[in-house]
């Protein structure tokens, strides 16, 4: 580990490289969502199974392994951990293209989750040592741009490949670039001194995990931010898993056309929401730190009805235009959520704090969101199907009842998504409740972390 303080050029390169890594992670994580309808048709799986592949298969080990890897990152080289993780998940993504059935694909997606568990917490811990507290909402929001970048590259590119060559080559193509990025990370990314951004050089031992847990869950602010973030991820990953199938079924468009809609809706809206959430919050909190809670609360209040309005559109162009708006609102939460979490703890607690937050968000949000949404979709589709047993007669396309199956499945997924997005209002309540205690808690944390002269 180098003890040389990072230069401004080092900071910029670290942010650029970590955004690239997170982009590759999101491409590899979300490619299944983009080609989900093609996989469903080819492997003859249900929406519940599709939800398992898009959520639980990835999220369980991603979340659970995040904590032990984060503990390792508090003690060892974060750069080395990130480099190895990128190589692992990229290889597992490529292997997904060779899956012979649901079980094989499930195991490969679990492997992707194992690899990606090693990047998130160490990356955010590095950035907190590069950038001071007053810039972290902005920095984490820029890091969050990996999501829309990943949607553009993996979403549209994956769908084009799937349309022309099938879904299997799509996994191979998006998995390979990460191997090169792993080497670049190993060779060029510097490890800054712990606590550098706060004028410290923390060479002490990392606090035990129980100390981190006690610090976090003693915080009323963190508890409310955590609940809100879990709800947002529950809704968000439900939408990510089923927006592409929603477009295909509702408007009877091709995979590529639906992918175009998926890319436009998510990339434009999330990029705007993440950036606005970071830049605006970092400026507003200079006047009142309660904006760490107020800003995302307002975004959540507006996101729910905006999504519902988009889902009830009858023309696909109108649906695209309307659905851009709610992502601008819901994306505001990202930067403030991670900034508050890092600002509440000490430098050698930050990787663990990120992993704990990500674990709970993954287990509850990513794991259950797509699965519950898939179950609701199957349930409401069965109710809408009038020609017999929906599960038996509509396993895929190409049957005499194909149109009736598509219409029923479109009705099912629309109803499921409308129900799910109303949960944004619950998230708004918890962000508001977090704002009520945040001022005193951040002042207390700042006093504890003040450098010793």
pLDDT the model gives residue 76: 86
CA–CA separation, 170 vs 157, rounded Å? 8
CA–CA separation, 274 vs 332, rounded Å? 5
Structure tokens that stand for 338 in this block: 């991670």
CA–CA separation, 238 vs 189, rounded Å? 34
Segment 104-132, tens digit of pLDDT = 888 888 888 888 888 888 998 899 889 88
CA–CA separation, 116 vs 104, rounded Å? 19
CA–CA separation, 37 vs 248, rounded Å? 8
Q: Which of 257, 241, 250 is nearest to 39 (CA)?
A: 241
Q: 220-251 vs 255-263: helix axis angle to the nearest 10?
A: 150
Fold of 8-193+206-449: Growth Hormone; Chain: A; (1.20.1250)
Residue ranges per domain, the chain? 8-193+206-449
SS3 letters across 157-184: HHHHHHHHHCHHHHHHHHHCHHHHHHHH
pLDDT the model gives residue 234: 94
pLDDT the model gives residue 453: 35
This prediction's pTM: 0.75
pLDDT the model gives residue 451: 46
Q: Which of 300, 325, 312 is nearest to 418 (CA)?
A: 312
**Contact indicator for 194, 347 with CB cutoff of 8 Å:** yes
Exposed/middle/buried for 64, CB within 10 Å: 0-12, 13-18, 19+?
middle
pLDDT the model gives residue 271: 85
> What average pLDDT values come out for the chain (453 residues) when binned by 10 residues?
70 94 84 77 79 71 80 88 92 86 86 83 89 87 86 75 81 86 93 75 75 94 96 90 86 80 80 88 92 96 96 92 91 92 87 86 79 90 85 61 82 94 97 95 70 40
Q: State phi, psi for 401 to the nearest 5 degrees.
A: -100, 20
**Contact indicator for 276, 262 with CB cutoff of 8 Å:** no
Lookup result for tokens 């990072």: 6
Count how many residues are written for the chain.
Answer: 453
Residues 6+ apart with CB under 8 A from 195: 129, 201, 202, 346, 347, 348, 451
Q: Rounded to whole angstroms, what are the CA distances from 279 to 216, 265, 284, 288, 345?
A: 25, 21, 9, 15, 22
Residues 6+ apart with CB under 8 A from 58: 29, 109, 110, 112, 113, 116, 366
CA–CA separation, 32 vs 39, rounded Å? 8
Segment 300-344, tens digit of pLDDT = 999 999 999 999 999 988 999 999 999 899 999 999 999 999 899
**Contact indicator for 141, 274 with CB cutoff of 8 Å:** yes
Residues 6+ apart with CB under 8 A from 343: 133, 136, 442, 445
CA–CA separation, 9 vs 15, rounded Å? 10
CA–CA separation, 28 vs 277, rounded Å? 25
């Amino acid at each position: 580990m180098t003890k040389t303080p990072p230069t401004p050029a080092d900071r910029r390169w670290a942010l650029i490289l970590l955004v690239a890594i997170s982009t590759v992670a999101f491409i590899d994580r979300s490619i299944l969502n983009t080609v989900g309808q093609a996989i469903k048709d080819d492997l003859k799986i249900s929406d519940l199974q599709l939800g398992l592949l898009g959520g639980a298969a990835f999220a369980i080990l991603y979340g659970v392994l995040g904590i032990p890897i984060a503990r390792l990152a508090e003690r060892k080289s974060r750069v080395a951990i990130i480099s190895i993780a990128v190589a692992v998940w990229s290889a597992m993504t490529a292997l997904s293209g060779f899956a012979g059935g649901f079980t094989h694909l499930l195991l490969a997606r679990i492997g992707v989750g194992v690899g990606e568990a090693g990047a998130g917490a160490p990356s955010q811990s590095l950035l907190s040592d590069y950038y001071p507290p007053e810039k972290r909402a902005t920095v984490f929001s820029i890091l969050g741009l990996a999501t829309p970048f990943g949607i553009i590259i993996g979403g549209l590119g994956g769908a084009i490949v799937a349309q022309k060559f099938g879904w299997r080559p799509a996994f191979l193509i998006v998995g390979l670039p990460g191997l090169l990025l792993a080497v670049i990370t190993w060779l060029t990314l510097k490890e800054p001194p712990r606590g550098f951004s706060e004028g410290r050089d923390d060479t002490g031992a990392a606090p035990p995990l129980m100390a981190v847990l006690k610090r976090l869950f003693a915080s009323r602010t963190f508890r409310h931010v955590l609940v809100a973030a879990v709800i947002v991820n529950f809704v968000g990953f439900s939408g990510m898993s089923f927006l592409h199938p929603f477009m295909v079924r509702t408007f009877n468009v091709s995979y590529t056309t639906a992918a175009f809609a998926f890319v436009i809706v998510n990339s434009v809206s999330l990029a705007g929401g993440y950036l606005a959430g970071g830049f605006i919050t970092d400026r507003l909190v200079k006047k009142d730190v309660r904006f760490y809670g107020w800003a995302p609360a307002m975004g959540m209040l507006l996101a729910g009805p905006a999504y519902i309005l988009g889902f009830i559109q009858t023309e696909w162009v109108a649906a695209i235009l309307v659905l851009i708006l709610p992502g601008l609102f819901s994306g505001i939460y990202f930067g403030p959520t991670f900034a508050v979490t890092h600002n509440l703890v000490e430098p050698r607690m930050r990787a663990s704090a990120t992993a704990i937050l990500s674990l709970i968000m993954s287990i509850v949000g990513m794991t259950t969101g797509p699965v519950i949404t898939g179950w609701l979709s199957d349930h409401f589709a069965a109710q809408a199907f009038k020609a017999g047993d929906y599960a038996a007669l509509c396993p895929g396309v190409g049957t005499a009842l194909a149109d009736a199956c598509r219409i029923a499945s479109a009705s099912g997924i629309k109803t499921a998504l409308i129900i799910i997005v109303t949960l944004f209002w619950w998230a708004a309540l918890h962000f508001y409740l977090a704002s009520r205690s945040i001022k005193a808690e951040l002042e207390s944390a700042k006093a504890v972390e003040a450098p010793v002269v």
